[in-house]
Amino acid sequence: MHTFWPDDDVLYAAFCRKDMAFDGVAYIAVRTTGIFCRPGCPARMPLRQHVVFFRTPHEAMAAGYRACKRCRPIEPPQSASALIRRLVAEVDAAPTRRWTAADLEALGIDPVTARRHFQRRFGMSFLAYSRAHRVASAFTLIERGASTLSAQLDVGFESSSAFREAFSKRFGRPPMRAKSSVLLRSAWMDTPLGTMIALTDSSCLHLLEFSNRARIDLQLARYRNRLNAAFAPGETAVSRTLRHELDLFFSGRRLTFSVEPAETGTPFQEQVWARLRRIPPGTTLSYAKLAEEIGSPSAVRAVASANAMNRCAIVTPCHRIVGTDGSLTGYAGGLPRKQWLIDHEARHSGRAGLAHRRAS
Ligand SMILES: [Zn+2]
């Protein structure tokens, strides 16, 4: 059941500007080549009169189209290649190891290919990725009471100025101030609606948002300021649970989450977010109704703004909030994704009859 489907001109314009809010929502097929793509494909944009749009890869294939080899519309967006999985496992097993291009060659991996894969997925080269892990290990050592010097040596930095610089650049503070800050781990989650970035610590989820790979550096700098925390790539027990629960969510097997969002908002925001988490999947609630329920009927705008400040997309389901007239209103991940989530929940919660339907 799809209630939201923009007309072809709107879709064509969205594909032209590589609007990633349509990633996982719409596919473009080219009659002249018989190939279909996802939004953001690096291939040249086909002419308007040659294209047709589909809602799922399955529908495109049923109509006789083949998947593009460049944007791979059948795989989850930006899914990790075997090469990435192998190197990520190597780094996880030995996070303080110092890597060189020669080490990659010794494993039979072309350093240029590794760089390209990592750049595309993480916004940094493999060598930068492994260096980030070394510096993050130093953070953990210092947090646990090691001296700056022993941490530096343990993670393979011979020069203390190079260590200080790498550390400050990554965490926005020098090593001696590491003890007073929090280290969050960033991990990528592949979903049918695009890749999401999750920031977690060993007990809580701090952030879950759709990631924009072209602007990932900016996005990370913004998080660092907003959360006043340092972070480095890596998994935690929470990120592993979240990955599993997102799989269950997107396959429709379970629409609720057990991971705990960190309490980082104002008391009012926390109150709004807690209420959002009690909206049953497959249903929606208006800003006005939510304001009324938490006892501040006049606070509709404050409720809307707390809703917009939600950092844990899907887990704290701000997509279940709609305008009083039932309109979709805004969503940080883009309206196509919001409607997709509402439809998906309606389909899998057995509440299809109660689902929100877009007017018109
Ligand atoms: Zn393509």
Q: What is the pLDDT of residue 360?
A: 32
Which among 37, 41, 71, 312 is annotated as catalytic? 37
Closest CA to 279 of 262, 296, 305, 303: 303
Closest CA to 160 of 172, 145, 175, 146: 175
Angle at 248 between CA 337 and CA 339, to 5 degrees: 15
Cα 347 to middle of ligand 1, angstroms: 29
Whole-prediction pTM: 0.72
Which among 41, 68, 312, 318 is annotated as catalytic? 318
Cα 40 to middle of ligand 1, angstroms: 8
Say if residues 112 and 119 touch (Cβ distance below 8 Å): no
Cα 61 to middle of ligand 1, angstroms: 14
For residue 253, what are its two tokens?
A: 């097997």
From residue 185, alpha-carbon distances to 28, 228, 311, 321 in Å are 35, 14, 15, 29
Closest CA to 227 of 271, 168, 171, 277: 171
Q: What is the pLDDT of residue 3?
A: 52
Cα 349 to middle of ligand 1, angstroms: 33
* DSSP reduced 3-state for 349: coil
Q: What is the pLDDT of residue 37?
A: 94
CB atoms within 10 A of CB 56: 15
**Is the confidence at residue 358, as pLDDT, over 70?**
no
Q: Give the single-character DSSP code of 47.
A: P
Say if residues 155 and 134 touch (Cβ distance below 8 Å): yes
pLDDT-derived band at 249 (thresholds 50, 70, 90) equals very high
Q: Does the active-site annotation cover 37? A: yes
Q: What is the pLDDT of residue 212?
A: 66
Task: State how beta strands 183-191 and 35-37 pair.
Answer: unpaired
For residue 167, what are its two tokens?
A: 């550390």
Select the more confidently predicted residue: 323 or 271: 271
Say if residues 242 and 186 touch (Cβ distance below 8 Å): no
Q: Give the single-character DSSP code of 261.
A: B
Cα 195 to middle of ligand 1, angstroms: 17
Q: What is the pLDDT of residue 166?
A: 82
